[in-house]
């Protein structure tokens, strides 16, 4: 496989880089901001992406996008991550809701929602995980009961990013309790009216995740996406878009974690320590493996393939690199007796605490290993 950019891809990468350098000129370092400040700049960044026609790169031109492929979106995400750009506040809308509606929505649904996403007027969240149905998504119990003109929905969702800013939710609910668990699910484009949203305080003090409670929330028939009972198929489409959009981001985030670790070692005067050099060398190799694996996955997608269990290996490896790099950085701070604000130690501690979630969010480490065991090694099912 050729890992180098084609001439066309390289020209696009230069175009992206030129625009990003100008658009990010006044954006502060996100690592030094409070959560409220980061959220403010995420909203500002979202507005700039929409105004610059970067919000729908891989959307068809017929729907207001630029008609480029998934690799172009991945390249843009990579270049933005390298420069420390804020995460766009409507990332779920651009990367997940829009493409899923394009793939499964009616003409009326596309006309109703896609322009608002591209303008930055309609913000979305993803209501999949539940308190008892996270990794085993198909076991969800949020129930939708048919009523005149639509559905009454009751249940709870958890770990929902950006729910406190969203006006719409990609919502999965069970519409047929008697059907096999994968067949009784329906996918709704639910307005957030009637949702009760509560922030979840994480170990690092941030509240980026939420829990949502639905008590007799009404959703109209017009907001069923893909047909009643077809929710699992539509959800798999959303999850595929999620994997593709994040592919090149993972290796950038892994590389940034390793580079920050090296900076700390230089500050502490231990960069030449043999044990440290060995540890960093192993982390650098793993980060490079994430990059190569991401490129391979994107190449297969570009050729018409579907991402397979290798995505689980990439996610698992990325999480391990970021967690270990942040752990070593904090250990170096502790060895130097410095855990105070002002020299970056407090920010490193926050990153270390936040990284603990990487082996939980997006599919737990246990689930990723089960996928590899069952689909690659052909071992018996563990659950």
Distance of CA 40 to the CA centre of its chain: 19
The answer to whether the beta carbons of residues 202 and 208 sit under 8 Å apart is: yes
Assign residue 363 a region (left: φ > 0; alpha: ψ between -120 and 50; beta: otherwise). left
Long-range contacts of 13-20 (CB under 8 A, 24+ apart): 13/75, 13/79, 16/75, 16/76, 16/79, 16/80, 17/79, 19/52, 19/54, 20/79, 20/80, 20/83, 20/85
User: How many of the other CB atoms lie within 10 Å of CB of 113?
Assistant: 22
Nearest alpha carbon to residue 134 among 374, 373, 375, 359: 359
Name the DSSP letter for residue 137: G
CA terminus-to-terminus distance, the chain? 36
Strand-pairing partners, residue 125, are 169
Q: How many CA atoms lie within 13 A of 178 on its CB side?
A: 1
Q: Has 130 been annotated as catalytic?
A: no
Give me the count of residues in the chain.
383
Any idea which residue has 């003090």 for tokens?
205
Name the DSSP letter for residue 143: E
User: How many of the other CB atoms lie within 10 Å of CB of 268?
Assistant: 16
> Out of 31, 122, 242, 334, which one is annotated catalytic?
242
Query: Rounded CA gap, 136 and 185, in Å?
Result: 13
Name, in order, each residue with C-beta under 8 angstroms of 260's C-beta and a sequence gap of 6 or more: 325, 329, 348, 351
Any idea which residue has 């907001």 for tokens?
223
Which residues are designated catalytic? 242
């Amino acid at each position: 496989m050729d890992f180098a950019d084609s001439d066309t891809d390289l020209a696009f990468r230069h175009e992206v880089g030129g625009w990003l350098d100008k658009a990010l000129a006044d954006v502060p370092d996100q690592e030094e901001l409070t959560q409220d400040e980061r959220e403010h700049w995420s909203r500002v960044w979202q507005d700039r992406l929409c105004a610059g026609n970067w919000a729908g790169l891989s959307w068809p031109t017929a729907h207001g996008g630029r008609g480029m492929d998934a690799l172009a979106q991945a390249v843009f995400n990579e270049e933005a991550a390298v420069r420390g750009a804020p995460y766009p506040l409507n990332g779920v809308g651009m990367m997940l809701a829009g493409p899923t509606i394009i793939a499964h929505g009616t003409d009326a649904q596309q006309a109703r929602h896609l322009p608002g996403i591209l303008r930055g007027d309609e913000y979305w969240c993803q209501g999949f995980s539940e308190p008892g149905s996270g990794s085993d998504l198909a076991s969800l119990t949020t129930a939708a009961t048919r009523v005149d003109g639509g559905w009454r929905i009751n249940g709870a969702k958890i770990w929902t990013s950006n729910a406190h800013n969203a006006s719409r939710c990609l919502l999965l609910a069970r519409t047929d309790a008697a059907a096999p668990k994968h067949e009784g699910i329906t996918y709704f484009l639910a307005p957030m009216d009637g949702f009760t949203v509560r922030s979840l305080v994480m170990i690092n003090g941030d509240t980026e995740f939420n829990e949502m409670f639905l008590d007799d929330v009404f959703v109209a028939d017009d907001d069923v996406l893909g047909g009643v009972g077809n929710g699992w198929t539509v959800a798999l489409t959303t999850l595929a878009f999620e994997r593709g959009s994040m592919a090149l981001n993972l290796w950038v985030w892994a590389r940034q974690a390793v580079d920050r670790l090296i900076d700390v070692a230089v500050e502490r005067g231990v960069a030449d320590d043999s044990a440290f050099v060995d540890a960093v060398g192993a982390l650098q190799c793993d980060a490079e493996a994430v990059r190569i694996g991401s490129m391979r996955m994107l190449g297969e997608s570009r050729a018409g393939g579907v991402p397979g269990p290798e995505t689980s290996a990439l996610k698992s490896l990325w999480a391990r690199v970021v967690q270990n790099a942040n752990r070593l950085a904090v250990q170096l701070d502790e060895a130097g007796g410095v855990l105070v604000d002002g020299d970056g130690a407090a920010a490193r501690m926050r990153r270390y605490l936040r990284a603990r979630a990487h082996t939980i969010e997006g599919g737990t480490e246990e689930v990723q290993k089960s996928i590899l065991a069952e689909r690659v090694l052909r071992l018996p099912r563990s659950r």
